[in-house]
Structure 1
């Protein structure tokens, strides 16, 4: 029960990693504002049915007015704000640089990068008022190096990683920690078609085969890392980007060797 009495906002909580995190936060005693454009009420209802505390709000994470409304709901309902998980994001497809419209690039940056910026700008002061707490941002392995997402998505997530570092420094002395998680291939709404196709084709064993664990992740595996970073267990972790990718980002491309076999 690491989050008993804590006021928590999770954006992008209508599905995937956000839904899993909101559910786990609530199960550990948190009072959770479930925020998303779609599906927030369904997640909140499931949390309440399990006997826990949740409020739902429909919001666009890249819209400043919506972010302010969401923070106000947490403060009005639960007396303040202790933790903010800025998780909402969009993929922007897989077009290359030369086939990507400026409007699409701008929209991906608005949601994926401006969204976390707004969460920090408006959330951190409220968290500091309560004596400190944590902000967690969802970045991606695509933000670490190329090969895991479109140009717009990758650039936005690289920005999120840097934003975590810069904001941790600018919040010096506030006792507000800021960290990011960098998911690898995870079964969420963004990637569901990949997993569904693989299952239908009998090729699910090939999903995630480029990482050493040779599988994709489930949302709960990412959510548990976010909860760790939000908790007092991570009280000395600040300004970090934690890759949760089965080991994918631990190496440059190499010829794989089988476990137990040695090279000639």
Structure 2
């Protein structure tokens, strides 16, 4: 991974932070992107502490100007983008379909789907000019099955899977690969409140809160998958929707 330039959205916590730390340790040059400046800077310091090379760019991934800015800063700083890890996302409140406010639905779609689209669009522009590149998107197990009381989130992650496959097909002969990961329960700040949210909603799937494997994944476990995809070891993979869920969807 030495010398690879990798953009990471949602780098301030969870899978994004764990992936940044791991890939920096393996020699990658990173462009860390997060909406939260404080947590993004914390990740930058953690990378720097292990002599990693990185910059931080604050951005709202649902805003095209912000996405164009961090992509341009990556090119201006490092001259290329080898891998774009579109990881930023938010979780909706568990609620019935008919009680969901339009503004809540729109916010989930804006961040989780439009944010992925914009990250792909502007990274693909750079990669198309380069003649190579790899995009990795964070989807979810809700990309391959519905989850009760999570209609907007499910729709957004199904959309991520669709965008991944569509771009993989379009760019397969252009030296550009596109894949997605589908985590189940991961021990992050985003998912810490899920058990209580489920209890409050009155619906508790049999696999929650401990998952079928008996625990949530650690962010580092998903980071290992991301690092593999970002490496040359995944060179024959494109259009793959990779489930890493501790048996959640069995």
Same fold (TM over 0.5): yes
Do the aligned partners of 2:108 and 2:153 also contact (CA within 8 Å) in 1? Answer: yes
- Aligned twin of 2:21: 23
Distance (Å, rounded) in 1 between the aligned partners of 2:196 and 2:220:
18
User: Would the aligned equivalents of 1:165 and 1:240 in 2 still touch at CA under 8 Å?
Assistant: yes
For residues 214-245 of structure 1, the C-alpha deviation after alignment (integer angstroms, 9 at most, x for no partner) is 21111111111112112110101100110110
| Number of residues of Structure 1 aligned to a counterpart in Structure 2 | 239
- 1:95 matched to which residue of 2? 95
TM-score, normalising length: structure 2? 0.91
Which has the higher Rg, Structure 1 or Structure 2?
1
1:209, distance to aligned residue in structure 2 (A): 3.7
Q: Which consecutive residues of structure 1, in runs of 5 or more, have no partner in the other structure?
A: 198-205, 251-264
Alignment of 1:156-175 (within 5 A): 156-175=156-175
Deviation at 1:249, TM superposition (A): 1.3
Picking from 6, 9, 26, the partner of 2:7 is: 9
Conservation of the 8 A alpha-carbon contact between 1:84 and 1:134: yes
Q: Which runs of 5+ in 2 are unaligned?
A: 198-206
Q: Is the 8 Å Cα contact of residues 211 and 246 (structure 2) preserved in structure 1? A: no
- CA RMSD between the two structures: 1.8
The CA deviation at 1:66 is 0.6
**Structure 1's 149 and 180: CA in aligned 2 closer, same or farther, altered over 3 A?**
farther
Partner residue in 1 for 2:35: 37
Shift of the 135–183 alpha-carbon distance from structure 1 to 2, 3 Å rule, reads same
* 1:144 Cα offset (Å): 1.0
Q: Is the 8 A contact 1:94 1:149 kept in 2?
A: yes
For 1:23 and 1:148, how far apart are their aligned partners in 2? Answer: 34
The Cα offsets for residues 107-154 of structure 1, whole Å up to 9 and x where unpaired, read as 100100011111111101212333412100000001211226611111
Inter-CA distance 52–243: structure 2 relative to 1 (3 Å threshold): same
What is the SS of the residue equivalent to 1:89? coil
Tell me: higher relative CO, structure 1 or 2? Use CA pairs within 8 A at least 6 residues apart: 2
State the match for 1:129 in structure 2: 129
In 2, the alpha carbon distance for the partners of 1:50 and 1:207 equals 36
CA distance in 2, matches of 1:193, 1:50: 31
1:214 aligns with 2:207: no
For the residues of structure 2 that align with 1:157 and 1:148, how far apart are their CA atoms?
14
Q: Separation in 2 of the partners of 1:113 and 1:121? A: 12
The alpha-carbon deviation at position 196 of structure 1 amounts to: 9.8
Distance 1:208 1:237, change over 3 A: farther
Q: CA shift at 1:74, angstroms?
A: 0.6
